[in-house]
Amino acid sequence: MKVGKQTIKFETLPCIFSTSSMVGPKEMQGPLASYFEQSSNDIYFGEKTFEKAESKMLNTCINHLISKNGLANNDIDLIFSGDLLNQCISSSFAIRDLEIPFLGLYGACSTFCEGLLLSSICIEANVAQQIIASASSHFCSAERQYRMPLEHGNQKSTTSQATVTGCGAALVTNSKKLDNGIHITYATPGKIVDLGVKDMSNMGAAMAPAVYSTIANHLNDTDRTLDYYDLVITGDLGVHGSDMLVELFKRENIDISSKHKDCGALIYDTTVQDVICGGSGCGCVASVFSSYIFNELKNKNLNKILLIATGALMSPLSSYQGETIPSIAHAISIENEVK
């Protein structure tokens, strides 16, 4: 049901039944290492190319999610998945042999929330009962896609973020499977916001206004305040973009800094790991939510969260042609036992 201007209320309370995550070596050196279910010390994940490595990682992650819940592939009605590579090849090749109906998504780094949102809509409409939403990214394949191949040995600018090598998958079901009762209660799909930032190595700054817009509209539509939530978690604003978000809320005399965490800042220790402003990429919010945050929800350390995945919707080509960076942010309200 639509509430307010752009928010969807889920009356059937779709449930995030289970999650699975897999990451690369650098993420395992970060503070969340103990939360990730699977990892690889080899950045190639045993494959010949980085693109194949990304598909392998996502495939392993999805297979694990299905098998650990005692399900078979044909129990899954639908997969929504996306990544950062041209034509979404990481997802397509990861899901190629699974024989599960597949809908590919592109929302840049907002893909994971886009998938959760669409899964919830399908559950609400009762057109599917068990859906997987997943997303992946790989540092090395993303460098080739967006910047230069690693062989080029490019230097990073001081505001740039490092693409996370990781993926996450969530099993979204109807609330009849009420084991843990982690529900998706509201979703606010974002509008594109573009304030004219052109710098591809400063995407946090481009995305912060989109996050602000989505949070403000979400709170308006749901008649909630920030106090309602235990935590507001953004996808990959990074250190620089997070500062900007705090600044934007300060203008409205709201202090979000105590409630806000960013997956890009959580996944790495920016003081010792050479990542400059933190992590980014589809896999950032996907892997952090599917591990650490889902765990916190399950253990009731967190009960009401607003998860906001952010996407910078440019391509290298649009940047070459002097275009600015259109940004988007989708918010999902995830709550424990709403009764």
Q: Is the Cβ–Cβ distance between 44 and 27 less than 8 Å?
A: no
How is residue 188 written in tokens? 């606010």
Neighbours of 39 (CB within 10 A): 19
Give the pair of three-digit tokens for residue 100: 């599960």
Measured from the CB of residue 109, what is the shortest distance to another protein in angstroms?
Answer: 20
What mask of x and - would describe binding to another protein in positions 194 to 233, judged by CB under 8 A? ----xxxx--------------------------------
- Give the residue with the Cβ less far from another protein, 152 or 339: 152
Beta-strand pair 182-188/7-9: antiparallel
Per CB under 8 A, which of residues 38..97 are in contact with another protein? 43-44
- How far does CA 238 lie from the centroid of its chain? 13
Binding mask 10-49 for another protein (x = CB under 8 A): ---------------xx----------------xx-----
Listed in sequence order, the residues at least 6 apart from 299 whose beta carbon sits closer than 8 Å to its beta carbon are none
Nearer to another protein among residue 190 and residue 238 (C-beta): 238
DSSP 158: T
Question: With binding defined as CB under 8 A, does residue 139 bind another protein?
Answer: yes
Report in angstroms how near the CB of residue 144 gets to another protein at its nearest.
Answer: 9
Distance CA 61, CA 44 (A): 15
Least separation in angstroms between residue 266's CB and another protein is: 20
Cβ pair 338, 320 in contact under 8 A: no
Q: Which stretch binds another protein (CB under 8 A): 115-123, 143-151, 182-190, 223-231?
A: 143-151
Closest CB to another protein among 63 and 273?
273
DSSP letter, residue 110 = T
Which positions lie near another protein, rule CB under 8 A?
25-26, 43-44, 139-140, 148-151, 154-155, 157-158, 198-201, 274
